[in-house]
Structures are given as structure tokens and as C-alpha cells.
């Protein structure tokens, strides 16, 4: 998810107009009079048309290729067109209980178009020359709105509250190990076999944490934390007064007052971007590089929702236990690194409420102000999963409200994570893999629906060294430079982070800049810190 933020546009009136039109079409009943048979005929006609279009594209590209022998770009287009045609044919032909499935899903899962994934090791690198003029935009759905009003669990919160769930923490170390034994790692497949990515209502009875958990109010523990930070090792800090206070303060009402509406966008009001995905998986991409003809639909689209509407859907997702294959929404916003140089009356609520993250003077969390990247905030809802990526900056992530699960892998694990290495690909230096699917590799009915590329990458990723940790309200997680992080929102949450400079050497056991440079076949100048956390 890109850091650039645009103003939230309220579409309340437009939504009302759409609802009114539906009522008029239905005679005011709100129910469709179109018969099931009519809907099925229309759906079949649509799939037939899509198949014809796909085959036509393949035929045109084949003919173009024949007239331009030796043109590598056209050969690539031919292969992609054939892949697209095959994928469309499979999706159209597939039935469940006599009904066609949604084109994005098989067995209730969305499988990625293989062209979106990194080239497999040992295969010839692909060339991408796609361009797009505008960032894709869509509309939020309103079907849930009435259900939310009458939901019997309304205002009861999540079915499992990960803020109060039982945890077991390791014994505090006053010195970090220097033999590579910390943090303890496991193969990614084992991590998700122990606790499935989408098993949000069925966590372990007690979640066993592996990262050091330092008390911010303890002098000797914070001295130890500094040593871990200096060695580029991940850890967590808790009992931070300003984070605790912000957690109590950041109610939906308070946040709504501080986010801009259409007619009042003036500092220190905050702007934001709200994105929608067809399921719970969100992957970063550069909009100006995403060519839908080459890669299919974008992973997500921006929508015109107010913060109020987003917050209500996030609460609804908790209350009903929103399924992983339902539409999900994600809000991102940020504070410019220049803001800390302004007078505090010009600060946004984020800087005011988290001063240690925005101070012009060094703090434990913002320890290199000249290199600080500002503050990025992500508001998640149950199930939202952000694809793995790394940031060059040394990253302090605080959970203000709610909880998220972080899946961390060190820089030297990069070759196993499916990171896109083609520079012109819209997801360059990010992975498009849904790691939670590593547990499907032993289930033949599901694996058969995957592309060979996704299946082979998941086999590789399943062996990647990994750790899992839950970051809950009031805690701060240190993610060292170039460590990969894959994030699962366990419930409605608000999280902010700040990055302070780059540690190039990293840790001798877990790697650093040199490892990701080699893995992505790039130079340092290509680095970009646009991914979200």
C-alpha cells in the first residue's frame, strides 16, 4: 500500500441515491423481481462473452507474433494471452452445485494470476512493460449496512479479543545472544500449521511469544532493549505511557473529528486513503505500472468512504466474524517528516498523541530524526492481510488499539519469499504470495486449482525461516532494517510506525542490505520505502 494519501471523499449522498434507485426499481420492496433462471441465463451469457473475448485476444496476439518473428515482447504477449485464455476457460467451466463461481475464486479461495508472481528460480526472467494512466478507483459495497444495524452481536466486539487473550512470554535477557539463537525461527509452513492464518476464531489457548518483551518503565530492561536494537534483533516494548493514553483516546468519535471531510480539509486535519479488496488479501503495487491487460485486475482499488463508514464496517467485521473471502477494507494515512519542525499547534492528532514518534530530538522510538520518514498509520479490520515486504528504515511499530499478527523473516530469507525482482513490475521488491496457503499444499483438491508458479513458490516459502508474534494495544515492535514482515489484522485496529535511518550491515546471522540487494538484483539507489506496515 503506497504511503501517499488522498482526501477521504464522502459518498454518503451518492450511496443514498443508489439505494433510492434500487427501491424504485423494486417497487419500494428492496427485493429483486428477476427470477433465478433469468439471472443464471445472464450469468452464462456473460461468461460466454468473456471466453470469446479471451480467445479472440489469443488469436490476435498469435497472428501478430507470426508477422514479427524474433520479437521477444510479442512472444511474451502470446504466452500471457494463452495463459489468460486458459485461466478464463477454467473459471467459466467450473461449477458448484449447478452455479458458476465468482471468477476470482475457486473452492472459496482467490488464486492469483501466475503473471502477478515472481519468476520461479532457474526460469528465464520475464519482461514487463505495462503502464497505467490512473490509480484504479471503485465503489464500496452497501449490502452489509442493513445487516449491521440488525446484527444481534452489535457493539459486542470481536469474538476473540487478542488484547486480553492469554500470552506466554520468554524470560527477559539482559544481554542479546550473539550466536544466532535469537530470535528462534521455524519453517513458515510449521508456523501456519500451528495456527492458521485465517483461523481468527480459533487461536491457541495460550499464544506462546518468542520475542523479548521489555517493560518501558524498567531502566535495566530498556538498557537491554538498546543492546538488541544495536544488534539489529527484533523485540517488543510495553507499558509506554503515551501509547496507553492514545489507545484510550482513539475512539471512533475522536478519530472521526480529526479526519477531514469534503469541506474541511485544512491542517491539522488528516487525510487518508481507503482501499477495497475482493477478499482479505492486500498486496502493494505501483498503480502507474499495473497493466490489467497483462496482469489482470489490480489487488485492490481505492474507494470514496468516510472514516465513519470504514470504522462501522470494521466493527461489523468483528461482530459477525467476517469470512476471509468476503470484501475487506483498509485505511492508510500518514504524517510528513516535515511536521515535527512545525509548532505543535500545527501538528496533527497523530503527532500530538505520539510525540516520541514525531519529536525533532532523538527518542528511543525515533532515534535518528534527520533520517526519519515521518509517521505512517494503518487502520485495519479483522482478517486484512498485507503481503510481505521489507523497509530499509529501522522500524518502530506501535499498536494503538486492537491487535495484529506479524510474520517476520530475516533479510537472508529473501530468495525464499517470492519477492518480485523485475524492476518494471508493479510489485517490484514486494511479494504477491498469500503465505497462509502453505497449509494447502497437502490438500490435493485445493492445490489442483493453483497455478504451477504459485504452488512451487509456496513450497519454497514453506521452508523460509520465520517467526510469529502478536502485537497488541499498548505495545511497540522493533523491526530491524530489511526484515520482511507479513501482517494479519486480528481485529479492528489502529497501528502507527516510524522509520529511522538504514542499518546497512544488519546482523551477521540474519543478513542485511547486501542480502536483499542480491536477491532483488538491484542497486541501493532503487530503494523505496513506500510499503505499508
DSSP states along 49-69? HHHHHHHHHHHHHHHHHHTST
180 and 55 part of one domain: no
444 and 336 part of one domain: yes
pLDDT at 76 over 80: no
84 and 202 part of one domain: no
pLDDT tens digit string along 99-153? 333 334 444 456 678 888 898 998 887 777 767 666 666 667 777 877 777 777 7
183 and 64 part of one domain: no
What's this model's pTM, rounded to 2 decimal places? Answer: 0.78
105 and 211 part of one domain: no
Asked whether the beta carbons of 399 and 497 are under 8 A apart, the reply is no
78 and 181 part of one domain: no
Q: Is 533 inside any structural domain?
A: no
Asked whether the beta carbons of 399 and 493 are under 8 A apart, the reply is yes
pLDDT at 42 over 70: no
Which residue, of 112, 134, 159, is where some domain finishes?
A: 112
CA gap 466, 481 in Å, rounded: 16
The region of weakest confidence among 140-149, 386-395, 419-428, 455-464 is 140-149
Which residue, of 88, 112, 136, is where some domain finishes?
A: 112
Q: Which has more pLDDT, 357 or 17? A: 357
pLDDT at 68: 43
463 and 376 part of one domain: yes
102 and 186 part of one domain: no
Q: Is 34 inside any structural domain?
A: yes
What are the start-end ranges of the E strands in 45-202?
95-96, 99-100, 105-106, 109-110, 137-138, 167-168, 186-187
Which residue, of 64, 95, 112, is where some domain finishes?
A: 112
pLDDT tens digit string along 301-337? 999 999 999 999 999 999 999 999 999 999 999 999 8
Q: Is 200 inside any structural domain?
A: yes
186 and 77 part of one domain: no
pLDDT tens digit string along 461-509? 999 999 999 999 999 999 999 999 999 999 999 999 999 888 989 999 9
Q: Is 122 inside any structural domain?
A: no
64 and 200 part of one domain: no
CATH number for the domain including 376?
A: 2.60.120.10
Q: Is 80 inside any structural domain?
A: yes
84 and 187 part of one domain: no
Q: Is 147 inside any structural domain?
A: no
Peptide bond into 183 cis (omega under 30): yes
Asked whether the beta carbons of 121 and 415 are under 8 A apart, the reply is yes
Percent of the chain with pLDDT over 70: 73
> Of 236, 175, 226, which is closest to residue 367 (Cα–Cα)?
226
User: Quick one: which H or E segment has residue 92?
Assistant: helix 72-93
Q: Is 153 inside any structural domain?
A: no
Number of separate domains in the chain: 2
Q: Is 367 inside any structural domain?
A: yes
311 and 200 part of one domain: yes
Q: Which domain holds residue 449?
A: 176-526
pLDDT at 471: 99
pLDDT at 263: 54
Amino acid at each position: 500500500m503506497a504511503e501517499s494519501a488522498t482526501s477521504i471523499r464522502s459518498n454518503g449522498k451518492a450511496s443514498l441515491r443508489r439505494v433510492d434507485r434500487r427501491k424504485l426499481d423494486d417497487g419500494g420492496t428492496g427485493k429483486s423481481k428477476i427470477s433465478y433462471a433469468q439471472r443464471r441465463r445472464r450469468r452464462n451469457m456473460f461468461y460466454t462473452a468473456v471466453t470469446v473475448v479471451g480467445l479472440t485476444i489469443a488469436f490476435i496476439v498469435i497472428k501478430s507474433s507470426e508477422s514479427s518473428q524474433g520479437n521477444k515482447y510479442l512472444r511474451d504477449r502470446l504466452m500471457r494471452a494463452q495463459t489468460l485464455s486458459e485461466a478464463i476457460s477454467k473459471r467459466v467451466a467450473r461449477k458448484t452445485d449447478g452455479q458458476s463461481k465468482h471468477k476470482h475464486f475457486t473452492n472459496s479461495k482467490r488464486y492469483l494470476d501466475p503473471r502477478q508472481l515472481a519468476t520461479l528460480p532457474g526460469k528465464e526472467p520475464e519482461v514487463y512493460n505495462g503502464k497505467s494512466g490512473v490509480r484504479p478507483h471503485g465503489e464500496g459495497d452497501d449490502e452489509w449496512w442493513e445487516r449491521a444495524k440488525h446484527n444481534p452481536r452489535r457493539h459486542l466486539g470481536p469474538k476473540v479479543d487478542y488484547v486480553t487473550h492469554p500470552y506466554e512470554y520468554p524470560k527477559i535477557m539482559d544481554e542479546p545472544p550473539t550466536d544466532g539463537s535469537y530470535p528462534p525461527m521455524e519453517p513458515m509452513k510449521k508456523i501456519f500449521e500451528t495456527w492458521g492464518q485465517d483461523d481468527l476464531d480459533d487461536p491457541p489457548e495460550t499464544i506462546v511469544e518468542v520475542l523479548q518483551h521489555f517493560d518501558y518503565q524498567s531502566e535495566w530492561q530498556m538498557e537491554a532493549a538498546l543492546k538488541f536494537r544495536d544488534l539489529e534483533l527484533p523485540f517488543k516494548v510495553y507499558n509506554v505511557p503515551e501509547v496507553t493514553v492514545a489507545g484510550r483516546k482513539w475512539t471512533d468519535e475522536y478519530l472521526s473529528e480529526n479526519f477531514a471531510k469534503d469541506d474541511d480539509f485544512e491542517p491539522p486535519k488528516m487525510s487518508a486513503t481507503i482501499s477495497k479488496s475482493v477478499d482479505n488479501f492486500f498486496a502493494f503495487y505501483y498503480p502507474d505500472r499495473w497493466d490489467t491487460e497483462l496482469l489482470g485486475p489490480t489487488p485492490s482499488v481505492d474507494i470514496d468512504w468516510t472514516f465513519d463508514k470504514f470504522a462501522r464496517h470494521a466493527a461489523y467485521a468483528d461482530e459477525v466474524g467476517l469470512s476471509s473471502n468476503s470484501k475487506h477494507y483498509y485505511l492508510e494515512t500518514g504524517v510528513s517528516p516535515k511536521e515535527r519542525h512545525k509548532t505543535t499547534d500545527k501538528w496533527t492528532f497523530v503527532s500530538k498523541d505520539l510525540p516520541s514518534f514525531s519529536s525533532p530530538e532523538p527518542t528511543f522510538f525515533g532515534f535518528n530524526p534527520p533520517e526519519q520518514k515521518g509517521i505512517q498509520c494503518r487502520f485495519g479490520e479483522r482478517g486484512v492481510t498485507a503481503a510481505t515486504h521489507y523497509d530499509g528504515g529501522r522500524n518502530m511499530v506501535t499498536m494503538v488499539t486492537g491487535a495484529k499478527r506479524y510474520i517476520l523473516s530475516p533479510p537472508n530469507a529473501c530468495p525464499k519469499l517470492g519477492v518480485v525482482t523485475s524492476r518494471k513490475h508493479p510489485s517490484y521488491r514486494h511479494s504477491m504470495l498469500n503465505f497462509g496457503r502453505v497449509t494447502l499444499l497437502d490438500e490435493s483438491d485445493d492445490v489442483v486449482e493453483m497455478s504451477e508458479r504459485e504452488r512451487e513458490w509456496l513450497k519454497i516459502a514453506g521452508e523460509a525461516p520465520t517467526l510469529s508474534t502478536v502485537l497488541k494495544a499498548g505495545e511497540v515492535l522493533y523491526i530491524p532494517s530489511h526484515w520482511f514482515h507479513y501482517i494479519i489484522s486480528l481485529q479492528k485496529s489502529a497501528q502507527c510506525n516510524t522509520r529511522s535511518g538504514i542499518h546497512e550491515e544488519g546482523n551477521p546471522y540474519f543478513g542485511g542490505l547486501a542480502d536483499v540487494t542480491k536477491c532483488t538484483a538491484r542497486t541501493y539507489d532503487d530503494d523505496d520505502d513506500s510499503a505499508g506496515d
